[in-house]
Amino acid sequence: MASGNPGVPVSFDKVQKSFGDVQVLQEFDLDIKPGEFLVLLGASGSGKTTALRILSGLETATAGRVKIGSRDVTDVLPKYRDISMVFQSYALYPHKTVAENIGFPLKVRKVNKAEMDVAIREAASQVQLDTLLNRYPRQLSGGQRQRVALARAIIRRPSVFLMDEPLSNLDAKLRGHMRAELKHMQESLGITTIYVTHDQIEAMTLAHRVAILEKGVLQQLATPAEIYNNPANLFVAQFIGSPPMNIVQGALAGDTFMASGAKIKSPVKGKIANAVLGVRPEDCSVTTVAKGSIAGEIFTNELIGDHTLVTVRTDKDMLTVKAPKDYRGKTGDKIGVAFEKSGLYVFDGESGARVR
């Protein structure tokens, strides 16, 4: 198989990108470690795909530099960057068999047939396609087509894998299966991988580190656990987590957070007229009005399987509580929601900055 250079570092140095008056990336700095699985996470329009396209050479940066390994590739053509891209759309040749699709990068390089056949079989076996080599894309399921696209990327043994929402066309069960496949494959190959997604479950399960983008600005770069447990700001706190973090609008006075007639002991001290208290659903519990941190009434009850999601309406906010699976509160019931003190976060309501 074509030998590449697994485990090279990648860096963005003050990369900017504008389309006319619209600035899509602003002073984007990012250092990716050799062999790292880095996920660029953000909503539509956050700049994540633009960053990936600049790295691949499909877009030109307005300012800044890009390096792969020790090479500055800012002005290098895509075909000379030693990268492999996997897209959402698979981009397979319909008139070529699975084997021909996988082997195409080596055919372009004029690798001899015997060597190519061995490489095709090796790449196919890594994604469990050994028995489907003579089929055509139209005879494959969505998951199988995606695996062909992966095998075609693997066979080149590039310095860097670039993946743009590669699982978004698959159903939920297959996505879970393919996430496990991708993670195992990347760990065994050790090739630096940059993966773009808007799906936080993919980011949390796949990444060594996650880079969260919003409006072209890097909001936080950290491990999934660090981002979940120690969000840098209100945007990150609400973007990561399913269901998302609960938000209570109020004011901070000393070590007391005041909202909806409730006084809650705050983990931080300060004086902020427009403050936001954050607490994740698993750090909330249903209790009596008298014992709750805040009071409200049940809006909906949803049995998820291993737990029940209870949505509670307070004066100003909607809160989601992860309750036991046998919880059977009724819509309209007056209840209290107790907050786990160690799970409370405070943010400045104006800037979104975390108050520490």
pLDDT in tens, 206-255: 999 999 999 999 999 999 999 999 999 999 999 999 899 999 999 999 99
Who's near 326: CB < 8 A, 6+ residues apart?
308
Tell me how far apart the alpha carbons of residues 209 and 156 are, in angstroms, rounded to a whole number.
Answer: 25
Percent of the chain exceeding pLDDT 90 equals: 77
Cα separation values, 24 from 18, 50, 210, 321, Å: 6, 8, 19, 36
Question: Residue ranges of the chain with pLDDT lower than 50?
Answer: 1-4
- Provide CATH code, domain 10-239: 3.40.50.300
- According to the model, what pLDDT value does residue 5 have? 56
pLDDT given at position 6: 64
Q: How far is CA 151 from the centre of its chain?
A: 22
Distance (Å, rounded) from C-alpha 153 to C-alpha 280? Answer: 39
Residue 320 has a pLDDT of 97
Query: CB-based burial of residue 194 (10 Å sphere; 0-12 exposed, 13-18 middle, 19+ buried)?
Result: buried
CA dihedral 286, 290, 293, 298 (to 10 degrees): 40
The alpha carbon of 106 is separated from its chain's Cα centroid by a whole number of angstroms, namely 31
pLDDT of residue 146: 86
Q: Which residue has the tokens 């890594």?
A: 126
Query: Can you give the pLDDT at residue 91?
Result: 82
Task: Order across the sheet with 10-19: list the strands.
Answer: 22-32, 10-19, 63-68, 71-72
244, amino acid identity = P
SS3 160: strand
The confidence score (pLDDT) of residue 255 equals 94
- Residue 277: both structure tokens together: 């208290």
- What residue ranges do the domains of the chain occupy? 10-239, 246-348
Amino acid 234: pLDDT = 96
Do the beta carbons of residue 344 and residue 278 sit within 8 Å?
Answer: yes
218: burial class by Cβ within 10 Å (0-12, 13-18, 19+)? buried
Question: CA angle 213-340-261, nearest 5°?
Answer: 95
Q: pTM of the predicted model, to two decimals?
A: 0.89
The architecture CATH gives domain 246-348: Beta Barrel (2.40)
